[in-house]
Amino acid sequence: MALELSMESKLLNLAINGDRRSLGKILTKIESGFEPDISVQKPWTLGVTGPPGAGKSTLIGALISRWIKKGEKIAVLAVDPSSPKSGGALLADRIRMQGSEKSESIFIRSIASRNHPGGLSLFIGHMINVLSASGWSKIIIETVGSGQSQTRIVAFADRILLVEGPDRGDIIQAEKAGILELADIVTVNKSDIPNSKLAYNSLNSSLSLNDNNSTITHLVSALNGDGIDDLLSTIDECPKSSEREILRQKERLLSLWDSRLLNYDGLNELLVALSTGSITLYDAVDIIDKAHMEN
Amino acid sequence: MRIVIAKPGLDGHDRGAKVITRVLRDGGHEVIYTGIRKTPEEIINILIDEDAEALGLSSLSGAHEVLIPKICEEMKISGLSDIIVFAGGIIPEKDHPKLYDSGVRAIFGPGTHSEKIINFLIDVSQRKERGEPTGVGEEIGWHWN
């Protein structure tokens, strides 16, 4: 008996067999709720985050141009390029590599997080699996490192690179957001700018205050390439830290928990009831708990 | 709608493209801006990876004469016939028919009110829902303005 395949399954099969158009389309389906049923070996993932203007996209560009020379196939999920500037910058990096005729080895997809009030956590894992099954050997998740939801998305990657500008203020912001604890590697970018060495030193002294500090730091210039090769080897050899793995799992769990809350059908009614004082916060939590139990 | 805004050709004046990007975002669309000086091949790749539903091409220096029809042709060859194409910038009236024949569905000149572009997108998506031709490689004839 011939089995009728759904449109999604057909797209998925085509994507896995290397059809890029189908891959683009299946990612859209996943964004709107499709859950592909595939099993893959653990994908190689890197989360890249940092404040706006730190040079994340340019740095990613510098890293991927080196990786594709080694025969890697790189997929980038660029989460919420909320300013046209950052969105354009990443795509411009891909363009700079066109000369090497290797653009077949780079896949870049922008995701607007603001269109998903319940968070991206419900589908980012599926996207990673599909990309991996479609032959993308390294998968990079890029987010702007501001706010918890962004931090949590980057925790879906198995190794995290925090990119800082030469302005020491950025690093303090990172400490506040808790991202510094999650990052395996912290790099100060723009070593071509005078203050960067100072920022790098103060980063190191700040990290040295932690017990058992295992964060690896680098000073690089994505612009002129200084230090990029060393950073690349650190990323490739990045040791697994079990402590950080626990932190990452916690962020993933919180992220899914948030999504569940935000996707709760009666959320608006609850919020109204809270604002008029007819229920307490504790009542609201009980109501949501109960609703989930019944499901 | 997922919309790619691209600037083909060699001119670097992208204020117009950036303004459109903002207008479309504020209109609730997901917009991916490619930056300046894109080749047709690069634009095709971006459309595929981003699974775009529409492409807006900005041209201020004559790129429309050769590059816009070329992009439309390559889109058809690459199986992107269902994507909606619109153009903006300095495009003389006399050149409009050629662009419409290539599959462009709307052309916006200098001074266009931003509402017009949003309205075009509403109309075009309604047409698409009804199954009427809107894509670059679909039946030529209808254009918005």
ipTM of the modeled complex? 0.85
Reported as a pLDDT band with limits 50, 70 and 90, residue A116 is: low
Report the number of distinct structural domains present in chain A.
2
How many Å is the maximal CA-CA distance in chain A?
70
Give me the pLDDT at residue A194, please.
Answer: 85
Residue B126 tokens read as 């309604």
Reported as a pLDDT band with limits 50, 70 and 90, residue A262 is: confident
Q: Confirm or reject contact between B32 and chain A (CB < 8 A).
A: yes
Answer whether residue B24 shows pLDDT above 90. no
A204 close to A173: Cβ distance less than 8 angstroms: no
Contact call for A112 and B30, based on CB within 8 A: yes
Reported as a pLDDT band with limits 50, 70 and 90, residue A118 is: low
Residue A63 domain flag: yes
Q: Confirm or reject contact between A99 and chain B (CB < 8 A).
A: no
Shortest Cα distance, chain B CAs vs residue A136, angstroms: 13
**Which has more confidence, A86 or B85?**
B85
DSSP A16: H
Q: Are residues A194 and A279 in the same domain?
A: no
Contacts of B37 in chain A (CB under 8 A): 95
Give me the pLDDT at residue A84, please.
Answer: 39
Q: Are residues A270 and A176 in the same domain?
A: no
Q: Are residues A164 and A232 in the same domain?
A: yes
Residue in B2, B21, B49 closest to A107 by CB: B49
Q: Work out the burial of residue B89: count CB atoms within 10 Å of its CB; fewer than 13 is exposed, 13-18 middle, 19 or more buried.
A: buried
Q: What average pLDDT does the structure give for chain B? A: 87
Q: What average pLDDT does the structure give for chain A? A: 82
Nearest CA in chain B to A89: B35
Residue B62 tokens read as 């004559």
Give me the pLDDT at residue A42, please.
Answer: 87
Answer whether residue A122 shows pLDDT above 50. yes
Write the CATH number for B62. 3.40.50.280
Decide: helix, strand or coil at residue A33. coil
Answer whether residue A287 shows pLDDT above 70. yes
Reported as a pLDDT band with limits 50, 70 and 90, residue A101 is: very low
Contacts of A112 in chain B (CB under 8 A): 30
Domain boundaries, position A285: 264-294
- B112-130 average pLDDT score: 91
B67 close to B40: Cβ distance less than 8 angstroms: yes
Decide: helix, strand or coil at residue A140. strand
Contacts of A105 in chain B (CB under 8 A): none
Shortest Cα distance, chain B CAs vs residue A111, angstroms: 9
- Residues B62-94 have pLDDT tens digits of 777 888 999 999 999 999 999 999 998 888 899
Q: Are residues A65 and A177 in the same domain?
A: yes
Residue B141 domain flag: no
A144 close to A80: Cβ distance less than 8 angstroms: yes
Q: Are residues A170 and A287 in the same domain?
A: no
Residue in A21, A91, A107 closest to B35 by CB: A91
Cα A111 to Cα A93, B21, B52: the distances in Å are 17, 16, 12
In sequence order, the 6+-apart residues with CB closer than 8 A to the CB of B66 are none
Q: Are residues A234 and A287 in the same domain?
A: no
Q: Confirm or reject contact between A140 and chain B (CB < 8 A).
A: no
Give me the pLDDT at residue A170, please.
Answer: 60
Residue B138 domain flag: no
Q: Indicate the range of A95-109, A116-130, B117-131 predicted with least confidence.
A: A95-109
- A230-256 average pLDDT score: 86
Q: Confirm or reject contact between A28 and chain B (CB < 8 A).
A: yes
Contacts of A109 in chain B (CB under 8 A): 49-50
Answer whether residue A81 shows pLDDT above 60. no
Write the CATH number for A184. 3.40.50.300
Q: Confirm or reject contact between B48 and chain A (CB < 8 A).
A: yes
Q: Confirm or reject contact between B35 and chain A (CB < 8 A).
A: yes
Q: Indicate the range of A111-120, A211-220, B32-41 predicted with least confidence.
A: A111-120
Residue B100 domain flag: yes
Answer whether residue A88 shows pLDDT above 50. no
Shortest Cα distance, chain B CAs vs residue A56, angstroms: 17
Report the number of distinct structural domains present in chain B.
1
Q: Confirm or reject contact between B58 and chain A (CB < 8 A).
A: no
Reported as a pLDDT band with limits 50, 70 and 90, residue A232 is: very high
Other Cβ atoms less than 10 A from the Cβ of A43: the count is 19
Shortest Cα distance, chain B CAs vs residue A24, angstroms: 5
Contact call for B49 and A115, based on CB within 8 A: no
**Which has more confidence, A240 or A256?**
A256
Contacts of B30 in chain A (CB under 8 A): 110, 112, 115
Residue B143 domain flag: no
Q: Indicate the range of A17-21, A99-103, A119-123 predicted with least confidence.
A: A99-103
Contact call for B33 and A109, based on CB within 8 A: no
Give me the pLDDT at residue A94, please.
Answer: 55
Domain boundaries, position B9: 2-129
Q: Confirm or reject contact between A24 and chain B (CB < 8 A).
A: yes
Nearest-10 crossing angle of helices A267-276, A281-294: 160
**Tokens 């990007």 belong to which residue?**
B21
Counting one residue from A and one from B, how many pairs have CB atoms under 8 Å apart?
59
Q: Confirm or reject contact between B51 and chain A (CB < 8 A).
A: yes
Which run of H or of E encompasses A77?
strand A74-79
DSSP B136: T
Percentage of chain B beyond pLDDT 70 is: 99
Give me the pLDDT at residue A245, please.
Answer: 86
Q: Are residues A136 and A236 in the same domain?
A: yes
Gap between the Cα atoms of A265 and A281, Å rounded: 17
Answer whether residue A83 shows pLDDT above 50. no
